[in-house]
Amino acid sequence: MKSHIWKAAAVLTAVCALVFSLVHAAIAKPGHGDADERGLEGTWVVTVTQHDCSSGTPIGVPFESLLTFSLGGTLTETTSNPMFFPALRGPGHGVWNRTGWHTYHASSLAFITMSGALAKTQKITQTIDMGADPDSFVATDASVQFFDPAGNLLVTGCASATGKRFE
């Protein structure tokens, strides 16, 4: 009888160790397995196209931004958008989360200064779809809002983007 109990305990211990190692490999090492396991985490070179919210007509020429999505749901962003000259736009900081199998929601906020004083803030909210390719994404519906220093909405805009993983 004691022999059966010890055998059952040994099998149960081995099964628990196997389950623990599989769970640890899946959770504790994001970004170190297959590309699909990385999800959105990492740095992306993003081509942004501004467009008229009503008609979808592109406005201006596309420009590039860098977005870095970190483990834990934080986001850092910089842009080469020429519309901010001579104003100075700082980097955007924000958050992101998974909303579906290959879809994500992200929001960021950046300060725009003129002559050393806060002139506006820019908030970007977007839905990101990675599709089947783990090294590219599209954001077809991005909202861009500008606020004065008191938080009053000044103007809104729309954009779309394509991203390629930076490696």
Query: Which position has the higher pLDDT, 62 or 24?
Result: 62
In this structure, the number of other CB atoms found within 10 A of the CB of residue 73 comes to: 15
**Cα of 97 vs its chain's centroid, Å:** 7
Q: Cβ distance 144 to 122 under 8 Å?
A: yes
Whole-angstrom distance, CA of residue 92 vs CA of residue 79: 9
In this structure, the number of other CB atoms found within 10 A of the CB of residue 44 comes to: 21
- Domain shared by 60 and 97, yes or no: yes
CA neighbor of 46 nearest in space, from 60, 74, 67: 67
- Domain shared by 138 and 161, yes or no: yes
- With a CB cutoff of 8 Å and minimum separation 6, the contacts of 122 are 89, 92, 109, 110, 112, 144, 145, 146, 147
- Domain shared by 75 and 10, yes or no: no
Instruction: Identify the band that residue 7 occupies on the pLDDT scale cut at 50, 70 and 90.
Output: low
Lowest mean pLDDT among 30-34, 62-66, 153-157: 30-34
> Quick check: 34 pLDDT over 50?
no
Structure confidence by residue, pLDDT tens digits, 44-80: 999 999 999 999 999 999 999 999 999 999 999 999 9
* Apex 161 CA angle, 81 and 111, nearest 5: 40
CA neighbor of 141 nearest in space, from 112, 111, 104, 110: 104
- Domain shared by 18 and 55, yes or no: no
User: What is the C-alpha radius of gyration for the chain, rounded to an integer number of angstroms?
Assistant: 22
- Domain shared by 101 and 145, yes or no: yes
- Domain shared by 23 and 55, yes or no: no
- Domain shared by 71 and 104, yes or no: yes
pTM for this predicted structure? 0.77
pLDDT score recorded for residue 25: 37
Contacts 24+ apart (CB under 8 A), 92-96: 92/122, 92/124, 94/124, 96/40, 96/69, 96/128
Q: How many domains does the chain have?
A: 2
- Domain shared by 42 and 82, yes or no: yes
Q: What CATH number should be reported for the domain holding residue 49?
A: 2.40.128
User: In whole numbers, what is the pLDDT of the chain averaged over residues?
Assistant: 83
Give the domain range for residue 160: 35-165
- Domain shared by 22 and 53, yes or no: no
